Amino acid sequence: DTEVTQTPKHLVMGMTNKKSLKCEQHMGHRAMYWYKQKAKKPPELMFVYSYEKLSINESVPSRFSPECPNSSLLNLHLHALQPEDSALYLCASSQDLPGQGTYEQYFGPGTRLTVT
């Protein structure tokens, strides 16, 4: 099973709302990622979890709050977003072999977020 699932597929939220994006994988991968992708741009890394610990935060505003409850799940909590945060949010996972780098990432279908 090489599938990464994400829910919801689409989300419209107001600037005062609180919502969460969810991601799940059952490939036994120990590295999980959140990316943001604007139209006609490449994915931009937001967060990386390795063995359920936050390894990388690419200076993401605090209105985005990641959580990794266990090795299969990754959440992104959203609060007080701005219209410019509207984008496709992609989750990915990969093997994590210490000292050997990261292998290929498997991506979910993404959540298309619109902030009104």
Partner 1 sequence: AQKVTQAQTEISVVEKEDVTLDCVYETRDTTYYLFWYKQPPSGELVFLIRRNSFDEQNEISGRYSWNFQKSTSSFNFTITASQVVDSAVYFCALSEVGTGGFKTIFGAGTRLFVKA
Residues forming contacts to partner 1 in the complex (CB under 8 A) are 31, 33, 40-43, 45, 48, 50, 55-56, 88, 90, 92, 99-110, 112
What is the rounded CA–CA span in Å between residue 52 and residue 113?
25
CB of 101 to partner 1, least distance (A): 3
CB of 61 to partner 1, least distance (A): 19
HSE of 23 in the Cβ direction (CA atoms, 13 Å)?
A: 28
The residue (of 73 and 88) whose beta carbon lies closer to partner 1 is 88
The residue (of 103 and 116) whose beta carbon lies closer to partner 1 is 103
CA-to-CA dists, residue 67 to 18, 24, 101, angstroms: 15, 12, 23
Residue 21, classed as helix, strand or coil, is strand
The residue (of 15 and 97) whose beta carbon lies closer to partner 1 is 97
